[in-house]
Chains A and B, each alone.
Chain A
Amino acid sequence: MDAKLLSGILLISVILISGCTTAINDNQQGDTELSQNQIDEVYDDLGDLIIDETNGVELGSLI
């Protein structure tokens, strides 16, 4: 009985670890397959990191 319970716990642990590993791998693999839209988004985001005079600090209006 004890051994069965222990096996159950071990099995659940293995499933959880396996699930997490798969999710991480999927995520990494997903990164390497960007659509053209996603590539455009990357360059849009890069546009926030390259600065010109229009990208300043905002303090709101006095009146």
Chain B
Amino acid sequence: MKRINGAVILSLFLLFSFSSAFAEDNETSLYEVELNDSNLENELLIMDVPEGIALRFLQLEEQLEIKINHSNQIIEMIGEINSSIDTSDLQLIVDELVLIKDEVSNYTTIEAVNELEDALTTFVDLKTDSLELITEFRTIVNELLSDAEIELLHESLNLNYSNLGLETQIRNMIRMYNSERLQKMYQGINMQNDSVIGQVMNGTMNKEQIMIHLKSAYEDSNMTMQQFAVKLKQHVTEGKVNASAKIQQAVMNYTNRQIERIRVRIQNSNLTIGNASGLVQGLNNKIDSINEKVNAWMSSHTQDSGATSGSQTQGNNVDSGNQANGSGN
């Protein structure tokens, strides 16, 4: 009877532990962040190999460079539409985008990403920062201008900016990535085809041709089309599961990392931007704003749920936030 009681108590204890763990996880993600980025999972899908990681950082750098060019044009055009409009908040956003672009450019080689402790989280962080700034830029422009004036901006904006050096790097990295990807797929199906890999690497085989090749490659194996597709499916499924898990991982402690990133940007701003006092003030204000958000969430959540395991999680966040705030100021 004692043994049975022991088994029942052990089962209840295990159940309670699991439910507590899930409850804490849900509460943490409630507080942490909402990543409103429908493209993110697809972008992370290829980041299981160094070539895919370097490629995404290169593409992020290129996009940031384009946005910085366009936003500078927009600020100039707003001045032409109405010279009395204060565009200093927009300029601060552009300055921060420049700092992020400089950070991103540190991770655009295979050697650099190999040294990164958690490349995917770094990518998610920097991309989310960029998205937030671009959304903020759009919101401010919408407040400053009428619909007709915004339409005028759309018509006047020169979208032809390009950086040929970056475009070439991206094209080469795509070839390196695709050949690495094909090699991995071949390994999964116990095949080897150096000729195809070579053609992908030197750019004589494009995506469409690669797909045609993959659809007929089972003929060169000792597998049926069914067996071949099953093997390939495993490759795809693993990638999707990894991408999803990485997003969940990146959400954890996002705000603490965000505060830390802003503090690094405050230090870098003096080196990169000529007169950085406005930017430094803006970044410090951002840290204050994040802390206010955390504190507001904490007090409302503590009232709602009382003393639960979640309260402990929130307490940790606030401590970190306050420390960051103090040193940031």
A63 with B141, Cβ < 8 A, contacts A32-B227, A39-B229, A42-B236 known:
yes
A50 & B43 in contact (Cβ 8 Å cutoff): no
B39 & A58 in contact (Cβ 8 Å cutoff): yes
Kindly state whether residue B253 has any CB partner on chain A within 8 Å: no
Please give me the residue from chain B that is nearest to A28 by CB atom.
B230
Kindly state whether residue B45 has any CB partner on chain A within 8 Å: yes
A49 & B46 in contact (Cβ 8 Å cutoff): yes
Kindly state whether residue B264 has any CB partner on chain A within 8 Å: no
Kindly state whether residue B239 has any CB partner on chain A within 8 Å: yes
A63 & B154 in contact (Cβ 8 Å cutoff): yes
A contacts with B, residue count (CB < 8 A): 29
* Nearest CB of A to B7, in Å: 7
Kindly state whether residue B225 has any CB partner on chain A within 8 Å: yes
Kindly state whether residue B59 has any CB partner on chain A within 8 Å: yes
* Nearest CB of B to A24, in Å: 15
* Nearest CB of B to A34, in Å: 5
B210 & A50 in contact (Cβ 8 Å cutoff): yes
* Nearest CB of B to A13, in Å: 10
Q: Which residues of B contact A9 (CB under 8 A)?
A: 4, 7
In angstroms, Cα B59 to Cα A53, docked, is 10
Interface string of A11-55 (1 = CB under 8 A from B): 000000000000000000001111000110011011111111100
* Nearest CB of B to A14, in Å: 15
Q: Which one of A39, A47, A52, A62 lies within 8 Å of B67 (CB-CB)?
A: A62
Kindly state whether residue B130 has any CB partner on chain A within 8 Å: yes
In angstroms, Cα B130 to Cα A9, docked, is 55
Please give me the residue from chain A that is nearest to B150 by CB atom.
A63
Q: Which one of B42, B137, B229 lies within 8 Å of A48 (CB-CB)?
A: B42
B59 & A45 in contact (Cβ 8 Å cutoff): no
User: Residues of A at under 8 Å CB distance from B?
Assistant: 2, 5-6, 9, 31-34, 38-39, 42-43, 45-53, 56-63
Q: Beyond A42-B229, A51-B177, A62-B67, list 16 extra A-B contacts (CB 8 Å).
A: A6-B4, A34-B233, A39-B225, A42-B233, A43-B229, A47-B207, A49-B181, A50-B207, A50-B210, A50-B214, A51-B207, A52-B174, A57-B63, A59-B60, A59-B127, A60-B131
| 8 A-B pairs with C-beta separation under 8 A | A9-B7, A34-B229, A46-B232, A46-B235, A50-B181, A56-B59, A57-B62, A58-B43
User: Residues of B at under 8 Å CB distance from A?
Assistant: 1, 4, 7, 39, 42-43, 45-46, 55-56, 59-60, 62-64, 67, 70-71, 74, 127, 130-131, 134-135, 137-138, 141, 150, 153-154, 157, 170-171, 174, 177-178, 181-182, 185, 206-207, 210-211, 214-215, 225-227, 229-230, 232-236, 239-240
